[in-house]
C-alpha cells in the first residue's frame, strides 16, 4: 500500500507540473489576446476630446480566468472521462422503452397543461411573458430545429441557409393574405408547399456539391433570399416589411372584444391572453406534427435511405438507391417544415421584415441541431430550450445590475455564452447532448449505436 502511494506521488506531481506549464501557456496566449482588445479604451471627456484609459485590471482578470479555467480543465477532465468510461449497468431494454414512452407522454401532457400552470402560478399579468417569450418562442425554434434535423441530422447535408425557407414561409403568408385576402389556415399549408418547392429549387443545383461547398452555397442561398426581400420593394416593401398580417382565428372566431369574438361566443371576459394561449397550442401542435412525421419517416424506406446516405453515398448507389431524389426529398421536407414555422411566425408577429431572417437565424438553428446531437429529436428539443430559453432568461437577470452597475445589460453577453456553451459541449459531448443513435428497427432488442460509429455525412 505504502509502495503504491509512494509510486503515485511523483506521477501526481509530474501531472500537476505539466498542467501548470500548459495553463501558463494558455495564460500567455490570453495575455496576447487581451492586451490589444482590453488593455486600452478610448473614451471621450467632457470637452469631447478622446482620452486613452488604461484597463490593466481587466487584462489581469482575463489572464487569471484563462489560467484557472485551463488548469481546472486539465486536472478535472481525466477524472471525468474515467468516470464516464466505466460501463453503466443498462436497464432491460423493454423496461427502458416503456419508461421512455411514459416519459414522453408525461412531457406532452405537461406541455399541454403549461399555459394553465403558468396562469395558476403567476396570474394573468405575468403569464404573457412566460407563455409567449418562453413557450411560443422556444417551440418555434424546436420546430425549426426538428425541420433542419431532417436535412442535417438524418441526411447529413449541411444547410446553412435554413432561414431562407423560414422567410419563404413567412412572406408567403404575408403576401397571400395581403394581396388575396387568404386567412391564416389557408396560408399555412400553402406556405409549407412554397417553401418545399424552394427547397427543391435549391436542391437541384447544389446536389453535386458536398461538404464545405454545399454549406457555402446554401449560406449564399439564404443571403440571396434575404437580399431579394430587401430590394424587391414593390412586392415586399423592402426594409419596412409587411404589417397587418391577419392573426389566426379559432375556427372562424377572431380573438377580439367584438360580439362575434372568441370570448363573447364562449361567454368569457375578453382578454388578450386568449390569443397567446391559442398561439401556444397552434405551435405546439405544429411542432408535435413535425416530430411525429420525422419519427414516422425514420422507420420508412425514405428515412433509412437518408441515414444510409449520411453513412455512405457510394454504397447507397450500389444498392439501387436514387441519391438525387433522396436528397431532394430531404431538402423539400425539411424546407416545408421551415415554411410552416415561418407562416406561424408571420401570423404571430403580425409584422415581418427581412431583419428577422438573417444568417444569425440560420446559425442559431444549426447550432441547436449540432448541440442537441445530430439526428436526435429529444436532443434538439433540449438544445432549443437551453439556447432560446437561456437567451430569454438573460433578460430576467436584472439583479446583475446591482452587481455590475446600472449600465450592465446581460443580454449583450448572449453570444459569449453561446460560444462558451459550444466549447463546453465540444469538450465533454463532442457528438451533441444525445450522441447515440437509436436504430429504426430491431430483431430482438433495441440497442443504441455508439456515437463514434455514426457518421456526420459529407454533404
Q: Which of 316, 347, 368, 370 binds other proteins (CB under 8 A)?
A: 316
- Whole-angstrom distance, CA of residue 456 vs CA of residue 425: 16
Which lies closer to other proteins via its Cβ, residue 152 or residue 263?
A: 152
User: Which DSSP state fits 437?
Assistant: B
Q: Look at residues 273, 294, 288 and name the one whose alpha carbon lies nearest to residue 110.
A: 288
Task: Draw the binding track, 428-457, toward other proteins (x: CB under 8 A; -: no contact).
Answer: ---------x-xxxxxxxxx-xx--xxx--
Q: Residue 392 class from Cβ within 10 Å (0-12 exposed, 13-18 middle, 19+ buried)? A: middle
Q: How far is the CB of 222 from other proteins (least distance, A)?
A: 27
Q: Which of 308, 335, 368, 369 binds other proteins (CB under 8 A)?
A: 308
> Left if phi > 0, otherwise alpha if psi is -120 to 50, otherwise beta: which for 52?
beta
CB 327 within 8 A of CB 155: yes
Q: Look at residues 160, 234, 143, 241 and name the one whose alpha carbon lies nearest to residue 202.
A: 160
Which lies closer to other proteins via its Cβ, residue 362 or residue 376?
A: 376
- Whole-angstrom distance, CA of residue 230 vs CA of residue 171: 12
Cell numbers 363573447: residue: 264
CB 230 within 8 A of CB 337: no
- The answer to whether 208 contacts other proteins (rule: CB under 8 A) is no
Which lies closer to other proteins via its Cβ, residue 329 or residue 362?
A: 329
Q: Which stretch binds other proteins (CB under 8 A): 10-18, 185-193, 300-308, 339-347?
A: 300-308
Q: Residue 230 class from Cβ within 10 Å (0-12 exposed, 13-18 middle, 19+ buried)? A: middle
Q: Which of 14, 124, 322, 411 binds other proteins (CB under 8 A)?
A: 322
Which lies closer to other proteins via its Cβ, residue 271 or residue 438?
A: 438
- The answer to whether 302 contacts other proteins (rule: CB under 8 A) is yes
135: which 3 cell numbers?
A: 413557450
Q: Which stretch binds other proteins (CB under 8 A): 67-75, 138-146, 239-247, 309-317?
A: 309-317
Q: How far is the CB of 429 from other proteins (least distance, A)?
A: 17
Q: Which of 98, 317, 395, 401 binds other proteins (CB under 8 A)?
A: 317
Q: Residue 207 class from Cβ within 10 Å (0-12 exposed, 13-18 middle, 19+ buried)? A: middle
Q: How far is the CB of 273 from other proteins (least distance, A)?
A: 36
**Residue count, binding to other proteins (CB under 8 A):** 39
Element spanning 121, H or E: helix 93-128
- Summarize the chain as % helix, strand, coil (round to 5): 75, 5, 20
Task: Draw the binding track, 269-298, toward other proteins (x: CB under 8 A; -: no contact).
Answer: ------------------------x--xx-
Q: Which stretch binds other proteins (CB under 8 A): 220-228, 251-259, 310-318, 397-405?
A: 310-318
Which lies closer to other proteins via its Cβ, residue 70 or residue 298?
A: 298
CB 305 within 8 A of CB 321: yes
Q: Which of 86, 318, 402, 403 binds other proteins (CB under 8 A)?
A: 318
Q: How far is the CB of 318 from other proteins (least distance, A)?
A: 5
Which lies closer to other proteins via its Cβ, residue 237 or residue 329?
A: 329
Q: Which of 321, 335, 383, 388 binds other proteins (CB under 8 A)?
A: 321
Q: Residue 116 class from Cβ within 10 Å (0-12 exposed, 13-18 middle, 19+ buried)? A: exposed
Q: Which of 140, 143, 245, 305 binds other proteins (CB under 8 A)?
A: 305
Which residues of this chain interact with other proteins, rule CB under 8 A?
A: 293, 296-297, 300-302, 304-305, 307-308, 310-312, 314-323, 329, 437, 439-447, 449-450, 453-455
Amino acid at each position: 500500500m505504502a509502495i503504491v502511494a509512494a509510486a503515485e506521488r511523483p506521477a501526481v506531481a509530474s501531472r500537476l507540473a505539466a498542467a501548470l506549464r500548459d495553463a501558463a501557456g494558455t495564460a500567455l496566449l490570453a495575455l496576447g489576446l487581451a492586451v490589444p482588445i482590453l488593455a486600452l479604451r478610448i473614451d471621450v471627456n467632457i470637452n469631447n476630446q478622446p482620452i486613452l484609459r488604461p484597463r490593466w485590471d481587466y487584462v489581469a482578470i482575463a489572464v487569471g480566468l484563462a489560467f484557472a479555467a485551463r488548469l481546472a480543465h486539465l486536472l478535472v477532465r481525466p477524472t471525468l472521462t474515467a468516470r464516464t468510461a466505466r460501463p453503466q449497468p443498462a436497464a432491460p431494454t423493454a423496461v427502458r422503452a416503456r419508461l421512455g414512452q411514459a416519459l414522453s407522454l408525461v412531457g406532452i401532457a405537461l406541455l399541454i397543461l403549461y399555459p394553465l400552470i403558468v396562469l395558476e402560478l403567476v396570474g394573468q399579468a405575468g403569464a404573457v411573458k412566460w407563455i409567449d417569450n418562453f413557450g411560443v418562442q422556444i417551440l418555434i425554434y424546436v420546430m425549426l430545429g426538428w425541420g433542419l434535423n431532417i436535412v442535417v441530422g438524418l441526411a447529413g447535408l449541411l444547410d446553412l441557409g435554413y432561414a431562407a425557407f423560414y422567410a419563404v414561409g413567412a412572406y408567403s403568408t404575408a403576401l397571400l393574405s395581403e394581396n388575396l385576402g387568404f386567412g391564416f389556415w389557408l396560408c399555412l399549408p400553402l406556405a409549407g408547399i412554397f417553401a418545399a418547392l424552394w427547397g427543391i429549387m435549391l436542391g437541384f443545383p447544389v446536389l453535386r456539391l458536398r461538404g464545405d461547398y454545399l454549406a457555402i452555397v446554401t449560406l449564399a442561398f439564404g443571403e440571396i433570399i434575404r437580399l431579394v426581400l430587401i430590394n424587391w420593394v414593390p412586392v415586399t416593401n423592402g426594409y419596412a416589411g409587411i404589417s397587418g398580417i391577419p392573426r389566426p382565428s379559432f375556427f372562424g372566431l377572431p380573438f377580439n372584444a367584438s360580439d362575434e369574438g372568441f370570448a363573447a361566443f364562449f361567454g368569457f371576459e375578453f382578454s388578450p391572453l386568449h390569443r397567446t394561449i391559442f398561439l401556444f397550442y397552434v405551435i405546439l401542435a405544429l411542432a408535435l406534427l413535425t416530430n411525429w412525421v420525422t419519427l414516422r419517416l425514420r422507420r420508412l424506406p425514405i428515412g433509412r435511405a437518408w441515414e444510409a446516405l449520411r453513412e455512405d453515398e457510394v454504397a447507397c448507389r450500389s444498392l439501387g438507391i436514387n441519391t438525387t431524389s433522396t436528397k431532394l426529398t430531404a431538402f423539400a421536407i425539411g424546407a416545408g417544415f421551415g415554411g410552416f414555422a415561418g407562416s406561424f411566425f408571420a401570423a404571430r408577429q403580425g409584422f415581418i421584415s427581412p431583419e428577422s431572417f438573417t444568417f444569425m437565424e440560420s446559425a442559431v438553428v444549426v447550432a441547436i441541431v449540432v448541440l442537441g446531437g445530430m439526428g436526435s429529436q429529444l436532443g434538439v428539443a433540449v438544445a432549443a430550450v437551453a439556447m432560446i430559453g437561456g437567451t430569454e432568461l438573460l433578460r430576467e437577470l436584472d439583479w446583475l445590475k446591482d452587481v455590475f452597475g446600472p449600465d450592465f445589460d446581460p443580454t449583450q453577453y448572449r453570444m459569449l455564452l453561446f460560444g462558451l456553451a459550444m466549447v463546453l459541449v465540444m469538450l465533454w459531448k463532442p457528438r451533441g447532448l444525445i450522441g447515440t443513435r437509436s436504430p429504426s428497427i430491431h430483431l430482438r432488442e433495441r440497442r443504441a449505436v455508439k456515437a463514434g460509429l455514426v457518421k456526420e455525412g459529407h454533404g
